[in-house]
A and B are shown apart, each in its own frame.
Chain A
C-alpha cells in the first residue's frame, strides 16, 4: 500500500483502496500464522481485484456511472476463496466500463496510465490490475478476460497474465459482460506466482452452472519440466499487417530460442482466425446487451427519473452508460433482432463452432500454439479512441482462445526501442494448463525479463 500511495497519483490504477479492510485482513493473517494456521500460498499476500468482481460491503462499480455507489450484498466466489485463503484484498482496480475495451480509457472514472510510460495506456479492459502488478502496488491482481482483457494489458504492462479454460474459474459474482466468454484470471510478476494464484481460485462452484466438475490440471507440477520434445505451432494468421516490427522480431526470437531448447517448431494455419474478430463482435455484444439490460434504475444503481417506467429506464441507461458500452449494447441488440438474428448472431455462433474445429485440427499436430500477445506495444492515450474498429483490432491475437474456451497466457519477453514491453502468447487446448505453463515457464527463463517500469524511478 506504500507503493500504491506513491504511484497512484500518476497511475490511477485503483478505483477503491480498502485500507481498513486490508489492514484487518493483514492482522488476521498474521494472527493465524502465529497460531500455526497457514491458509495456503496466498496467505497474507496483498491482492487487487478488478472492479467488476463483487466484494461485499465494498463499492463495486464496473467503472460505470450506472453503478456509482453500488455496494454488493455478497462476495463473488473467487473473492470468498481468496479471503478463506488468507489473501489481503487491497482494493478494486480500474477497468474499461463493464470490461468493454482494450485501453481502460472507457472507464467512467478516468483512465489508468502505463507504468512504463505515463503518456500511454496500460491496455484493457483490466488495465488497473495490470498496472498495479507492474508497479508493485500489488503482488498479485485478478482481472477478467473476455476477448483478451487480461493478456493484452499484461503484455502492454510487462507482467504475466493468463486466462484459464472456460468453466474452471467461477463466474458467480463477476459482473457479466459476455457470459460464454468471460473468465477470471490472475496477473502476476512470475509464471510460478501465476500458477499459484490460479490454483487458489479455480475449482468447481455449484453456484455457476457452467462450472467444470471433473479433474483439474496441476500446473505447479509442470513448471520445471523444460520443453524438450514439445511441439509448438506458430500461428501464421497472427503476423504481418498491423504487427509492429519489434513485436514480430521478439516473437520470432523467442521461437528460435525455444527451438534451441529442444522444441519442435512448425507453422500452423488456422484460417478461421481471420474472421474470429468479426464473430466475436457479434457474440460478445449480443450477450452483453442482454446482461446489461438489468441496469434500469429500479433496484440499485443510478436512477434518472421519468414520468413512466419506460422513460425512467431509457434516461437512466442513456446517462449511465458510456459511449463504448452504448455502442456494444446497440450492436448486440441489432444482431439479435428479428430479421437479423440468423445472418449475424446465428452465423457468428456457427463460425465459432468452426473456430473450435480449427483449433482441434491444429492440436492434433502441436501441443501449444504461440503468437505475439498483442500486435503492438502500448499505444498513446487517445490514439485509438476515435476509431472503435482500430481499438477492436488490439485483440486480434487473443479472441480466438476465448471463442474456443481454451487457456492462454502472456509472458513478457522484452522491450522495444522505446522501452515498452512486448508479450509472448502461449495457447493450449481446453484443460491444457499444464503444458501451457510448462512452455510459459521456459519462455520466462529464456527471456530473463525484468519488471522495472519507469514510474518507480521517480517515485522511489
Chain B
C-alpha cells in the first residue's frame, strides 16, 4: 500500500515552492517509494544501535590555529546581490 503523506507540509519544511499539480504528482511517487523504503521495518533490530563510521574514527580535532580566509571580492563575486561588502536579501518572514 503506498504511504499517504502530507506533501504540502513536507514541501514547506524543505522550502520547495511547488505548484499544486507538482505536489500531487510527487505525493503519488513518494507514496510508492516510501512503501518500498518501509520494508526496513520488517527487520527486528536492536533499538539503540546506530551504524558507526566503518573505521571507528573518534576525536577528529584541529588545533586552534588560523587559516587564511577567502578574499572578499571572490566571495561576493558569486553573490546574486550584494552592497558594500554585504549580501542582500529581501526582508525575512521569520525563521521556521
Contact = CB atoms under 8 A, between A and B. Distances in A.
Interface of A: 70-71, 73-74, 165-167, 180, 206, 209-214, 272, 275, 277-279, 281-282, 289, 293, 296-303, 305-315, 317-318, 321, 326-327, 329-331, 333-335, 337, 343-344, 347-356, 388-389, 392, 403-406, 430-431
A331 B34 contact: yes
User: What's the dominant secondary structure at chain A's contact region?
Assistant: helix
B30 A165 contact: no
Contacts of B51: 180, 349-350, 352-353, 355-356, 403
B38 A278 contact: yes
Interface size classification for chain B? 35 or more
B60 A209 contact: yes
Contacts of B87: 298-299
Contacts of B14: 289, 293, 317, 329-330, 333
A37 B8 CA distance: 60
Nearest to B67: A207
Contacts of A318: 16-18, 22
Contacts of B64: none
B66 interface: no
A309 B89 contact: yes
B93 interface: yes
Contacts of B36: 277-278, 281, 389, 392
Given A321-B16, A347-B45, A303 B80 contact: yes
A4 B55 CA distance: 40
A178 to B, nearest CB: 13
A167 B57 contact: yes
Given A297-B80, A303-B80, A310-B92, A282 B37 contact: yes
Give the interface centre of A211, A212, A277, A331 by most chain B CB atoms within 10 Å: A331
Contacts of A335: 37
30 contacts: A74-B70, A180-B51, A212-B57, A275-B42, A278-B37, A281-B36, A303-B80, A306-B90, A309-B92, A315-B17, A317-B17, A318-B17, A318-B22, A327-B26, A327-B30, A330-B26, A331-B30, A334-B30, A347-B40, A348-B37, A348-B40, A349-B50, A350-B45, A350-B46, A350-B51, A351-B45, A353-B49, A353-B52, A355-B51, A430-B55
A354 to B, nearest CB: 5
A434 B31 CA distance: 43
Contact of A299 (B13, B33, B74, B79): B79
Given A321-B16, A327-B30, A388-B29, A343 B60 contact: no
Interface of B: 5, 7, 10-11, 13-18, 22, 26, 29-30, 32-34, 36-43, 45-47, 49-55, 57, 60, 62, 70-71, 74-75, 77-81, 87, 89-93
A251 to B, nearest CB: 25
Contacts of A392: 33, 36
Q: Which of B11, B46, B71, B92 counts the most A-chain CB atoms under 10 A from its CB? A: B11
Contact of A272 (B43, B57, B74, B77): B43
A95 B81 CA distance: 29
Contact of A214 (B22, B55, B77): B55
Contact of A326 (B16, B32, B80): B16
Given A167-B54, A210-B60, A430-B54, A351 B10 contact: no
A300 B89 CA distance: 12
B70 A73 contact: yes
Contacts of A310: 15, 92-93
A356 B15 contact: no
B79 to A, nearest CB: 6
For the complex of A and B, the 4 pairs showing the least CB-CB separation, nearest first, are: A405-B54, A314-B17, A303-B80, A352-B51
B28 to A, nearest CB: 11
B26 A326 contact: yes
A279 B17 contact: no
A435 to B, nearest CB: 16
Nearest to A431: B55
B25 to A, nearest CB: 9
Contacts of B77: 71
A186 B14 CA distance: 33
A344 B17 contact: no
A301 B87 CA distance: 13
Contacts of A321: 16
